[in-house]
Structure 1
Amino acid sequence: MRLVALAFALLLSACGLKPMYSGGAAGNVAQGLSGIEVSPIEGKSGWLMRNALVDRLGAGKTGGGAQYRLDVRLDDKLEGLGLLSDDTVARERRTLRARYQLVDLSTGEIVLDASAGSDAGIDVVSSEYATIAAENTALENLTRQVADRIVTRLALKLRSGGQ
């Protein structure tokens, strides 16, 4: 049994995988992420997105000043799908797309220019309140998903050396 575990450990170390957050909060990636300030983003979806990003980045935890600035522009669309015979909408699709840039504050250089997005389907029911609640819940969920994608991409960029 020990021989199998040893063989597995040797194979795993040879595959080239490296932990992204090695070193925990003191690691390079975690320190880099916490050194990113998030610019204000317009609208309700922008407020949700900025809060989600600040939470995930741990912005300001380094104690020093920010090294990078994250600028985000959002495109939030809600469109009706699936018309019924009485011309009412039976289903909606909410799409949230983010175009973001990571800017090095010391040089003004754009280190990363990318986009991320996600979408969700919403059932339109007879209760207007329930439909509005479903639309808001979809926006909150999409915001978290897109924020996760942005932070993952930022972490990959910082792990590879930032530049």
Structure 2
Amino acid sequence: MKRIASLAALVLSALCVSGCGLRPLYAGGGSGVVATTLTRIEVAPIEGKAGWLMTGALNSRLSAGGATPLYRLEVRLDDKITGLGVRRDDSVAREQRKLRARYQLIDLANGAVLLDATAGSDAGIDVVGSEYATIAAENTALERLSDIVADQIVSRVALYAQRTQAPKAP
């Protein structure tokens, strides 16, 4: 009896979802509105080591195809490491690395800011006896955080492109 009820609930929910108006973000594949918009974005230079990592992460996701850019993505980063846990000898046992980004999508034709938002993530780092190992862990955390924040930025820009440029469904 429980199986029949579960199956009925599944069928009912599938019918409800089919009529809700959900559309795939990357409809049309590589020639769709979102994909072509993302290839027309240039990433402005970002300062520092975190900026270098973020620029690379964004460029790999936007996959600029050599087309003339229509938009510029300007990103300002805030990268902080904070000590959390303290040992008996007053040394730090754990750190938290926070990477925050404020980004703006700018229309190159008129200089208008089309999207102004923030993204961010954080990672915990164990501080061990070896300073080299701790520095390596901090660098690895920064690389991971750059990828995570770049994914957030590109996802938000893709949603913006879909909402503003996609043809409306009938």
Q: Does the alignment reach a TM-score above 0.5? A: yes
Match of 1:35 among 37, 40, 58: 40
Match of 2:116 in 1: 113
Q: Deviations over 1:53-97 (max 9, x none)?
A: 0000112x1x43101000000000011111111010000010000
Q: Percent identity?
A: 62
Q: Please say if 1:20 is aligned against 2:15.
A: no
How many aligned positions are there?
A: 157
Given the two structures, how large is their TM-score scaled by the length of structure 1? 0.91
- Structure 2: unaligned runs, 5 residues or longer: 1-7, 166-170
Match of 2:50 in 1: 45
Q: Which amino acid aligns with 2:102?
A: R
RMSD: 1.8
Q: Which amino acid aligns with 1:44?
A: K
- Structure 1: unaligned runs, 5 residues or longer: none
The CA distance in 2 between the partners of 1:12 and 1:116, in whole Å, is 29
The CA distance in 1 between the partners of 2:12 and 2:131, in whole Å, is 60
Q: Deviations over 1:89-129 (max 9, x none)?
A: 00001000000000000011000001100001100001111
Instruction: Please say if residues 39 and 67 of structure 2, whose CA atoms lie closer than 8 Å, have aligned partners that are also in contact.
Output: no
SS state of the match for residue 18, structure 1? Answer: coil
Alignment of 1:9-158 (within 5 A): 11-59=16-64, 61=65, 63-158=66-161
Moved beyond 2 Å, runs of 4+: 6-13
